[in-house]
């Protein structure tokens, strides 16, 4: 029966040349990957802790369970060439606490590398520096080995316009424009970050943290809002969901509306011309977006609110309302 060393190196007992001639300790460990498949790994020492070595461009530290299952992988980036690529291409990533000016660590799953895979590849192909290309090739060698098969499975789902709950984060890249429909009207926001959460009352969900432009009756500025995508609502029996059925999804998946941005810019520009106007008439449905004041009253489709309190009309426009003096009810200024 062939020895482990023979199986790996492709040698047999007949290959007796230079047996024992290399004065080094060669260590192989048989472990199990995340999918339960057995693998044979070469290590440098008998201890599980291999240390941190700044002389290597990339340091990979794999953590195994007591049952020899791979639980997590830590990646340390030391290469100045790779750090420069991150500064040039990515600049900043919300869940990675680094400005890429010095070595840093990442833990699997490597969302930043997944989201900027194509951008980093394009950057690598544009380089003239051989050393930089070698270091980036090393990074992609790791990415292909650790993330390549899973990336292909994600792409197959996305090609069909679907995604499952475990891979939901893959379609949400920080900084990308998202679209949400309220009462049939589109609303564009910028993605900040995503996070998986869970409790006993709501089950599992993913939070989508977004930034958008709002008006409070006096100033125009950025505001934040968090949307929840619940597993039991959109991914029944752990089946994939249609991306465009989600409560909010990336703008690039809305294929049929090429003029959306133009229409929303025109609508927003018209709305800004109403700044300083405190009273107007609005006849239609309204949705309260904050608790009404004590002097709030409602008469048919009109309401009375103090200045700088806002509501949202059926077209999802931010509105400002104030009393119509001498008349019952109130009006709204609406974009």
pLDDT tens column, 276-302? 766 667 777 777 677 766 766 553 334
Write down the domain spans for the chain.
23-159, 168-259, 274-334
pLDDT of residue 149: 94
pLDDT of residue 102: 92
How far, in Å, CA of 321 to CA of 324, rounded? 9
pLDDT of residue 220: 80
Which tokens is 108 given?
Answer: 């699997």
pLDDT of residue 306: 40
Among 225-229, 250-254, 308-312, the least confident range: 308-312
End-to-end CA distance of the chain: give it in Å, rounded.
80
How far, in Å, CA of 127 to CA of 14, rounded? 47
**Please, which pLDDT band fits residue 29 given cuts at 50, 70 and 90?**
low
| 313 vs 276: which has the higher pLDDT | 276
Name the β-bridge partners of 312. 287, 318
Residue range 81-103: average pLDDT?
95
Q: Would you say the pTM of this structure is higher than 0.85?
A: no
Is-contact 121 113, C-beta < 8 A?
A: no
**Percentage helix, strand, coil for the chain under 3-state DSSP, each rounded to 5:** 25, 35, 40
pLDDT at 317 over 70: no
Residue range 253-279: average pLDDT?
83
Residue range 113-123: average pLDDT?
97
């Amino acid at each position: 029966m062939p020895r482990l060393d023979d199986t790996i190196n492709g040698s047999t007992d007949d290959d007796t040349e230079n047996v024992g001639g290399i004065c080094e300790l060669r260590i192989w460990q048989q472990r199990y990957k995340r999918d339960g498949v057995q693998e044979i790994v070469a290590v440098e020492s008998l201890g599980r802790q291999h240390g941190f070595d700044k002389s290597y461009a990339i340091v990979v530290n794999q953590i195994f369970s007591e049952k020899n299952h791979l639980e997590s992988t830590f990646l340390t980036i030391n290469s100045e060439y790779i750090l420069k690529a991150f500064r040039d291409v990515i600049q900043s990533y919300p869940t990675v606490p680094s400005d890429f000016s010095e070595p840093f660590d990442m833990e699997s799953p490597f969302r930043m590398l997944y989201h900027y895979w194509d951008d980093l590849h394009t950057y690598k192909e544009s380089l003239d520096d051989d050393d930089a290309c070698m270091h980036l090739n090393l990074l992609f060698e790791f990415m292909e080995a650790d993330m390549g098969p899973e990336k292909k499975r994600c792409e197959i789902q996305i090609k069909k316009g679907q995604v499952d709950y475990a891979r939901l984060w893959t379609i949400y890249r920080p900084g990308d424009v998202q679209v949400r429909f309220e009462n049939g009207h589109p609303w564009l926001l910028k993605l900040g970050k995503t996070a998986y959460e869970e409790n006993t009352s709501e089950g599992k969900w993913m939070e989508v943290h977004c930034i958008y432009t709002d008006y409070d009756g006096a100033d125009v500025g950025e505001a934040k809002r968090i949307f929840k995508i619940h597993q039991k609502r959109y991914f029944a029996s752990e089946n994939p969901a249609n991306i465009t059925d989600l409560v909010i999804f990336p703008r690039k998946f809305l294929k049929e509306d090429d003029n959306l941005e133009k229409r929303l810019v025109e609508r927003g520009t018209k709305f800004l011309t109403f700044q300083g106007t405190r009273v107007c008439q609005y006849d239609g449905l309204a949705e309260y977006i904050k608790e009404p004041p004590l002097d709030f009253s409602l008469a048919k489709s009109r309401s009375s609110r103090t200045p700088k309190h806002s509501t949202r009309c059926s077209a999802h426009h931010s509105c400002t309302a104030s009393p119509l003096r001498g008349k019952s009810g109130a009006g709204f200024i609406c974009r």
